[in-house]
């Protein structure tokens, strides 16, 4: 069965879905995106994801392409047409099509692309049982990492290094030696004193929706946490480590570069938070009518 995408008002098979070569997303990376997880037929944290999408549009001065209710209807139709029950939905908005010029065009209409694909939760949970390895790379990104822009080349270079070294993710290290975040996830450690630590929300990181949810869950579980900078050396000495994102959940990290984390196995904090997050997804996510497990 061919996968179906929504592209600028039209539903069509991916093989027939196209954008204009003068779309500014293609020529300038002039656009933003969001990824929302779908678990057991339910959208996870849809509202905060859409809030962040609207914020990204505002920060880049891209016009709203459609109303939020209309966007939500399209998301659900894309999921239904693709028979997705566990997976992700990808939303991209660019400034639109215009003759090539660095300055913003006056009359361009934003382009919208939405598609979905399967991503079984079971595989993620299996990986979480053993934990993952991360490497570290210099943070070479621009100074507005808080905007979820499609301009991701430094992230891609870091992720490729991770793949080439057999790692799951790459943590980015700024010029002062602090861990900012992963190439597609937020970074966490648990100190020897048993405090969960993650980089504070600023222009230096993307404020992950899953990151914020984990902080709320840590509080409800009675786990101590701090939003502060931490160095790579502190990470090497940590009791536990973890990465989080919509597509990684709360994933335990058991090795950073060549340094084993703790005893080399997923720790108590990661286990508690992953269990709490899975329960949250089950109880609080928004069901999409008409979806059935295939």
Q: Indicate whether 133 and 274 sit together in one domain.
A: yes
What is the domain-level CATH number for residue 12?
A: 3.30.470.10
User: The domain containing residue 49 runs over which residues?
Assistant: 4-119
Asked if residue 90 is part of any domain, the answer here is yes
pLDDT in tens, 275-293: 999 999 999 998 999 898 8
Give me the pLDDT at residue 280, please: 97
Give me the pLDDT at residue 1, please: 64
What is the tally of structural domains in the chain? 2
Strands 249-256 and 240-245, sheet pairing: antiparallel
Query: Could you give the angle at which helices 209-220 and 46-59 cross, rounded to 10 degrees?
Result: 130
pLDDT in tens, 109-121: 999 999 999 998 8
What is the domain-level CATH number for residue 241?
A: 3.20.10.10
Give me the pLDDT at residue 2, please: 80
Q: Indicate whether 141 and 109 sit together in one domain.
A: no
The mean-pLDDT minimum among 2-6, 186-190, 207-211 falls in 2-6
Average pLDDT, the chain: 96
Check if 148 is active-site: yes
pLDDT in tens, 155-165: 999 999 999 99
* Residue among 72, 127, 148, 282 flagged as catalytic: 148
Q: Indicate whether 132 and 277 sit together in one domain.
A: yes
The whole-number average pLDDT for the span 175-190 is 98
Reading the block at residue 107, the tokens are 């009359």
Asked if residue 206 is part of any domain, the answer here is yes
- Sheet with 87-94, edge to edge strand ranges: 10-13, 4-7, 111-118, 87-94, 31-39, 42-43, 286-287
Strand partners, 182: 171
Task: Answer with the one of 102, 119, 136 that is the final residue of a domain.
Answer: 119
Task: Answer with the one of 70, 101, 119 that is the final residue of a domain.
Answer: 119
Asked if residue 59 is part of any domain, the answer here is yes
Q: Indicate whether 211 and 175 sit together in one domain.
A: yes
Give me the pLDDT at residue 294, please: 67
pLDDT in tens, 217-276: 999 999 999 999 999 999 999 999 999 999 999 999 999 999 999 999 999 999 999 999
pLDDT in tens, 65-103: 999 999 999 999 999 999 999 999 999 999 999 999 999
Query: Could you give the angle at which helices 268-284 and 209-220 cross, rounded to 10 degrees?
Result: 110
Q: Indicate whether 178 and 195 sit together in one domain.
A: yes
Task: Give dist(CA 171, CA 167) in Å, integer.
Answer: 11
């Amino acid at each position: 069965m061919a996968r179906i995408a929504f592209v600028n008002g039209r539903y069509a098979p991916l093989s027939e879905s196209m954008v204009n070569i003068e779309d500014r997303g293609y020529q300038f990376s002039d656009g933003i995106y969001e990824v929302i997880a779908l678990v057991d037929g339910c959208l996870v944290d849809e509202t905060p994801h859409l809030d962040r999408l609207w914020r990204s549009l505002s920060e880049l001065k891209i016009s709203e392409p459609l109303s939020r209710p209309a966007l939500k209807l399209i998301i659900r139709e894309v999921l239904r047409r693709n028979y997705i029950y566990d997976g992700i939905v990808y939303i991209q908005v660019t400034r639109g099509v215009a003759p090539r010029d660095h300055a913003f065009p006056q009359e361009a209409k934003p382009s919208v692309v939405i598609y979905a694909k399967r991503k079984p939760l079971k595989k993620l949970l299996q990986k979480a049982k053993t934990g993952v390895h991360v490497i570290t790379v210099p943070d070479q990104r621009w100074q507005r990492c808080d905007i979820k822009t499609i301009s991701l080349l430094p992230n891609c270079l870091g992720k490729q290094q991770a793949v080439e070294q057999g790692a799951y993710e790459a943590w980015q290290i700024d010029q002062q030696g602090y861990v900012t975040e992963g190439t597609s996830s937020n970074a966490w450690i648990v100190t020897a004193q048993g405090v969960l630590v993650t980089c504070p929300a600023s222009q230096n990181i993307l404020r992950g929706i899953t990151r914020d949810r984990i902080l709320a869950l840590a509080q409800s579980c009675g786990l101590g946490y701090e939003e502060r900078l931490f160095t790579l050396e502190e990470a090497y000495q940590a009791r536990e480590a973890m990465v989080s994102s919509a597509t990684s959940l709360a994933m335990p990290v058991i090795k950073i570069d060549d340094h084993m984390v703790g005893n080399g196995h997923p720790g108590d904090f990661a286990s508690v938070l992953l269990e709490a997050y899975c329960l949250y997804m089950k109880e609080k996510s928004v069901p999409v009518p008409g979806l059935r497990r295939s």
